[in-house]
Amino acid sequence: MIPEDETSGYRVSYDRGVRRLDPLQTHQELAPARVNMNALFTLGTIAWLAGLAVLGILHLLGTSVNGGYALICVVGIVFGGFGFWWAHQMHLIDDRGRSE
Q: What pLDDT score was predicted for residue 35?
A: 80
Q: What pLDDT score was predicted for residue 89?
A: 80
For the chain, what are the domain ranges?
37-89
From CA 45, how far away is CA 75, in angstroms rounded? 10
| pLDDT tens-digit profile, the chain (100 residues) | 555 555 555 555 555 555 556 556 666 677 777 788 888 888 999 999 999 999 999 999 999 999 999 999 999 999 999 988 888 787 777 777 677 6
Q: What pLDDT score was predicted for residue 31?
A: 77
Q: What is the pLDDT of residues 26-49, one digit of tens each?
A: 666 777 777 888 888 889 999 999
From CA 45, how far away is CA 28, in angstroms rounded? 35
Q: What count of other Cβ atoms lies within 10 Å of the Cβ of residue 65?
A: 16
Q: What pLDDT score was predicted for residue 21?
A: 60
